[in-house]
Structures are given as C-alpha cells and as structure tokens.
C-alpha cells in the first residue's frame, strides 16, 4: 500500500485508470483509508514534542 501513497495523480485525480488492475484498485482503497492517519501534518498548530514523548517512547520501548 505504501508504494501507492505518493502516486497522487492516480488516487486523487483518477488518472492512469487504464493502467491499473484489480489489485491496484484494492490498494488505492487502503491508501484512502490510510490518508486520515497520514504522516504529514494536517494541523496548523505545531505538535508539542515534550507532551508526545511519553507516548512515542512507549511505542519504541514498551514496559
């Protein structure tokens, strides 16, 4: 799914539809689902790194 993520013309503009198969279409469905959790910031405010540190530390080094 990740390899499809940056292929914006296909999943945003429906370009190149004649070149994709059923597997690609299924992957683009998941791209759409993933976009709500996208790694790019979707907020105008900068995240508070100190407040987020315990959460991320637990992901990396669970107790």
Phi, psi angles (nearest 5°) of residue 59:
-65, -40
Range of the domain at 8: 2-60
| Predicted TM-score of the model (pTM) | 0.50
Name the domain count of the chain.
1
- pLDDT (tens digit, 9 = 90+) per residue, 21-58? 999 888 888 888 887 776 666 678 888 999 999 999 99
| Average confidence score pLDDT of the chain | 83
CA–CA separation, 5 and 57 (whole Å) = 27
Six token digits for residue 36: 């709500």
Note whether 31 and 11 are within 8 A (CB). Answer: yes
């Amino acid at each position: 799914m990740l390899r499809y993520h940056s292929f914006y013309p296909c999943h945003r503009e429906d370009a190149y539809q004649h070149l994709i198969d059923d597997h690609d279409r299924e992957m683009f469905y998941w791209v759409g689902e993933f976009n709500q959790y996208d790694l790019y910031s979707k907020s105008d405010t900068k995240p508070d790194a100190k407040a987020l540190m315990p959460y991320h530390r637990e992901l990396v080094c669970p107790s």
